Structure 1
């Protein structure tokens, strides 16, 4: 029988404890969980009092779990996982994903990939609703870990504990140049012919490898915070220079005034896209089928290279 003290602890309280362990900071956990730091601290103390064990060492620059806390955090994760299974089972029936797939997609991918699978999805998963959330990959993976999403499409990264992934496809980049650029009008351009100082790249979406592909010049490309691809193209149209854009977006971006598109000669920059899910998900079979669907579609979309295995 559960003690009276522990019966006052909610699943939300346990999720707050888990967030502190993940973020290593009360402030960071409070921000991630949309609660005030003082409110979060109070709830964590309530859990500690109910368990009769201090879960975290306080006072250092980074909050770390105590020896007892490390042991109990595994049980807390199991409780939260079981609660998620219970919720899914309650709405499951015979419908895939329990009736709804909450999918996170990067904002630089969603508008261009979604039209390709919005029709075949209900054909492959009758009765299941697809709900799309867009954002930056890092934020989407955090929401997946916290249970707000069921799966995420994102470039490969160092995944958090409790997440698994499977490769889907490789999407090459194309060059998008200001129409007045000296090399505009060519079908393909080598990056070694371009001055890195003229490039405008996005900090997260383009990653760090693009600047290592041999662009000419000693200066590094300008890196801006991630914006929409349309905004990035507009910047190039107004300021000059060039950028790299994923091939799925080329039709929409090519219609923007004062920019032109070109292929990349020799080097093949691009991004790999993978499907992420929680290890404890009850929808593993459904997610395997969803990954199969996306790889099948990738084989029919010009320019994409589907992964050969999951």
Structure 2
């Protein structure tokens, strides 16, 4: 009953604002566009829109169909692109979503040889602080998800890439710099700096502060790693970050890393992919290059090169 053209029409009207503009975008006559929707209304037995002068107003059924169009059409377009790429002998593009915000430099070390091995494949990276990685993976908006917090979901497979320790960055002359380990209560009077991520997704909260019922004196978000660690060095706050990242900045900044809690916070970075995509040559090629660094990746060399 529902055809792709129906979804395309509703999306075009929503984007363009009128039937005339939508028809122009879809290379249809306005009458053909209206006829397609009327045919759908007859088949379904429900109205999709009502006219208000030159404009149309979607009914509840129409709004539901528009939501489906916005969800399904990108997936169908991705399939079209992939088939065209296979027909021309190339895969096209590999889209990578980042939930590990400090891991961008690691990604560059994998992308560099990947682009040489796969000259017909482009790499695109989505790195947003409020990025919903699993939803993007399920909706075919990305092909690979880089995350420290893999979720077990049907249809998704995660591969571990490397281990690291989440520690607290403090100024070298901060009182906490002399501690063998930082406890939750030590942060009660501190300004905690972090990326703009909900506290429920921050390891320092999940593994240390929340179980102890402790909140920092102040929680301030900073988008830039450089600025965040400059603020740490100036004793404007402390920050929970990977140990390798802090060590990379130590030659330039007077900062030190201290374990969080008596047992520390051990983490792993994983790559998530849709199970149905396993076997695609370009995707498998990326996973193989990433796996080559598993467990023995030289962070110091990678970050300084």
Please give the range of the TM-score, normalised by the shorter of the 2 chains: 0.5 to 0.7
Q: In the TM superposition, what is the alpha-carbon distance from 1:214 to its structure 2 partner?
A: 4.7
After superposition, residues 99-110 of structure 1 pair within 5 angstroms as 99-106=92-99, 108-110=101-103
RMSD of aligned C-alpha atoms?
4.9
Q: Report if aligned partners of 2:158, 2:273 keep a CA contact under 8 Å in 1.
A: no
Q: Report if aligned partners of 2:169, 2:241 keep a CA contact under 8 Å in 1.
A: yes
3-state DSSP of counterpart to 2:295: helix
Q: Is 1:200 aligned with 2:192?
A: yes
Q: In the TM superposition, what is the alpha-carbon distance from 1:15 to its structure 2 partner?
A: 9.7
Q: In the TM superposition, what is the alpha-carbon distance from 1:193 to its structure 2 partner?
A: 7.2
Q: Structure 2 length as normaliser, TM-score? A: 0.63
CA–CA separation in structure 1 for the residues paired with 2:287 and 2:71:
26
Q: In the TM superposition, what is the alpha-carbon distance from 1:115 to its structure 2 partner?
A: 3.6
Instruction: State the partner residue of 1:220.
Output: 215
Q: In the TM superposition, what is the alpha-carbon distance from 1:244 to its structure 2 partner?
A: 1.0
Cα distance change, pair 7–228 in 1 and its aligned pair in 2 (3 A): closer
3-state DSSP of counterpart to 2:101: coil
1:275 corresponds, among 248, 271, 276, to: 271
Instruction: State the partner residue of 2:294.
Output: 298
Instruction: State the partner residue of 1:211.
Output: 205
Instruction: State the partner residue of 2:159.
Output: 167
Q: In the TM superposition, what is the alpha-carbon distance from 1:146 to its structure 2 partner?
A: 5.0
Q: Is 1:230 aligned with 2:226?
A: yes
Q: Where do 5+ consecutive residues of structure 2 fail to align?
A: 23-33, 49-59, 300-305
Q: Report if aligned partners of 1:162, 1:278 keep a CA contact under 8 Å in 2.
A: no
Q: In the TM superposition, what is the alpha-carbon distance from 1:179 to its structure 2 partner?
A: 2.4
Instruction: State the partner residue of 1:150.
Output: 143
1:87 corresponds, among 81, 91, 106, to: 81
After superposition, residues 1-310 of structure 1 pair within 5 angstroms as 9=6, 11=8, 13=10, 51-52=40-41, 53=44, 81-92=75-86, 98-106=91-99, 108-122=101-115, 124-136=117-129, 138-139=131-132, 141=134, 143-156=136-149, 164-169=156-161, 170-184=163-177, 188-191=180-183, 194-202=186-194, 204=197, 207-211=201-205, 213-214=207-208, 219-221=214-216, 222-225=218-221, 227-264=223-260, 266-278=262-274, 281=277, 284=280, 286-301=282-297
Q: Report if aligned partners of 1:197, 1:219 keep a CA contact under 8 Å in 2.
A: no
CA–CA separation in structure 1 for the residues paired with 2:266 and 2:130:
16
Q: Where do 5+ consecutive residues of structure 1 fail to align?
A: 17-29, 57-64, 304-310
Q: In the TM superposition, what is the alpha-carbon distance from 1:123 to its structure 2 partner?
A: 5.2
CA–CA separation in structure 2 for the residues paired with 1:105 and 1:148:
12
Q: Report if aligned partners of 1:164, 1:276 keep a CA contact under 8 Å in 2.
A: yes
Q: Structure 1 length as normaliser, TM-score? A: 0.62
Q: Report if aligned partners of 2:143, 2:273 keep a CA contact under 8 Å in 1.
A: yes
CA–CA separation in structure 1 for the residues paired with 2:12 and 2:178:
55
CA–CA separation in structure 1 for the residues paired with 2:282 and 2:120:
13
Q: In the TM superposition, what is the alpha-carbon distance from 1:7 to its structure 2 partner?
A: 7.8
Instruction: Count residues with an aligned counterpart.
Output: 270
3-state DSSP of counterpart to 1:136: coil
Q: In the TM superposition, what is the alpha-carbon distance from 1:246 to its structure 2 partner?
A: 1.5
Deviations 1:222-268 (A, max 9, x none): 33345222222223233444221123422443245343233446323
CA–CA separation in structure 2 for the residues paired with 1:50 and 1:155:
49
**Higher Cα Rg: structure 1 or 2?**
2
Q: Report if aligned partners of 1:168, 1:291 keep a CA contact under 8 Å in 2.
A: no
